[in-house]
């Protein structure tokens, strides 16, 4: 039986760590930007139905952004990471759905990045989640 390659294991661990930190920092910066508007961003022109939805949930958005900051901090500091990734999964799906419903795929790349990184990290921790799906 061949021994595992220590360099491959280290590089894989480093990749997961980098993805976790990038995801956490992205969530923190995205949420802080919604409060302080230090980066240019817009939802763009959106269909009327999408605008109606956004208007109906606007009062809850500050709480969502605070929640994103907390999730981001947990990811950056590697606290409760497997649990936080599961909590983030529905938010990632909602982010993707909203971005796709908006109709501008060129501006939806942040949602795809968040969804992809979240999926990769969930797969990384899949062994811990397996009992949940029995």
pLDDT at residue 12, rounded to an integer: 85
Residue in the block written with tokens 């109606």: 52
Supply the mean pLDDT for the chain.
89
**Region class of 46: left (phi > 0), else alpha (psi between -120 and 50), else beta:** beta
5 domain residue, yes or no:
no
42 domain residue, yes or no:
no
Residue numbers of the domain that contains 72? 16-36+48-133
Contact 65, 31 (CB under 8 A): yes
DSSP 78: T
96 domain residue, yes or no:
yes
26 domain residue, yes or no:
yes
Identify which of 12-16, 19-23, 48-52, 128-132 has the greatest average pLDDT: 19-23
91 domain residue, yes or no:
yes
76 domain residue, yes or no:
yes
pLDDT level of residue 105 (50, 70, 90 thresholds): confident
8 domain residue, yes or no:
no
Number of domains in the chain: 1
66 domain residue, yes or no:
yes
Which range (21-30, 38-47, 49-58, 71-80) has the least confidence?
Answer: 38-47
Q: Cα(96)–Cα(48) distance, rounded to whole angstroms?
A: 18
The per-type count for the chain, helices as H runs and strands as E runs, is 6, 0
**How large is the average pLDDT for residues 50-63?**
88
Sign of CA dihedral 21, 23, 28, 29: positive
What whole-number percentage of the chain has pLDDT above 70?
91
């Amino acid at each position: 039986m061949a021994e595992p390659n220590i360099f491959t294991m280290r590089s894989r661990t480093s990749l997961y760590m980098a993805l976790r930190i990038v995801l956490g920092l992205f969530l923190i910066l995205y949420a802080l930007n919604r409060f302080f508007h230090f980066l240019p961003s817009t939802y763009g022109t959106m269909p009327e139905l999408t605008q109606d939805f956004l208007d109906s949930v606007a009062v809850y958005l500050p709480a969502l952004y605070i929640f994103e900051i907390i999730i981001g901090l947990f990811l950056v500091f590697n606290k409760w990471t497997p649990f936080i990734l599961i909590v983030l999964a529905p938010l990632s799906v909602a982010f993707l759905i909203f971005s796709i419903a908006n109709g501008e795929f060129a501006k939806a790349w942040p949602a795809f990045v968040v969804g992809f990184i979240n999926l990769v990290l969930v797969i990384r921790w899949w062994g811990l989640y397996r009992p949940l799906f029995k």
